[in-house]
Structure 1
């Protein structure tokens, strides 16, 4: 999972129902304007993320268990293609059809809790489910 040479600014805002929980996998990070590369995730101006968005806690727990059983329980990172399969199966967001891929987005474009997790998660890591708006 490497960096893309140029981050894309096309981010889609969610429409329709507001999710009560989600799961996020950061797939890579970008420098953006004025950002720094390296391990200083707090200084990134753009990130690229995937997510699985579910309104019901039970459904997101089921999706997360599938990721845990396959990879996370062994301390492995979830391969992007496998995360995409789980997202396509469980996500209630239109991005689920694209494997949960949200593309590149800058700070300030996503809801507070999601943005905090997206910019604070190490590259390639999958977080536990969390509540977002």
Structure 2
């Protein structure tokens, strides 16, 4: 009996064991449409566009809409990067808006909320933070 109870206890911690259960490994990926991964991951990989003026961020978003979003398509990271290089006023704009992996708690307020609630592969609508106006492309999640 002791052997049977241990795998059940480890099931929820399969990520630490490295290869325990396929179920637990897929939960950390934050699949779109399932709320379980969106708000619970520890790290997000994202790109963003930052503009001081709302009009400029709206121009960037219109380019994303016209190219992909209006058709229900996902914006390819390389294309998002081109628009970030053109529009973003953040130093990360030179790198296509790439912020890399960052943990929960590193980014402030609305930026963190949007970054950790945007499904992988999806692009956020423009939103305001204390630094200006942003658009985020979520590229990955992990715990």
Normalising by the smaller structure, the TM-score range is 0.7 to 0.9
Residue 7 of structure 1 corresponds to none
Residue 37 of structure 1 corresponds to 28
**Aligned length in residues:** 101
Structure 2 spans left out of the alignment, 5+ residues: 1-14, 17-24, 31-36, 131-143
Larger relative contact order (C-alpha < 8 A, sep ≥ 6)? 1
2:90 to 90, 93, 100: 93
CA distance in 2, matches of 1:130, 1:120: 13
Show CA shifts across 1:54-78 (max 9, x none): 0000100000000000000100000
Residue 49 of structure 1 corresponds to 46
State the 1:41 CA deviation.
1.7
Pairing 1:9-48 to 2, within 5 Å after superposition: 37-39=28-30, 40-48=37-45
TM-score by length of 2: 0.67
Answer 1 or 2: which has greater helix percent. Answer: 2
Pairing 1:103-122 to 2, within 5 Å after superposition: 103-122=100-119
Structure 1 spans left out of the alignment, 5+ residues: 1-30
TM-score by length of 1: 0.72
RMSD, aligned α-carbons: 1.8
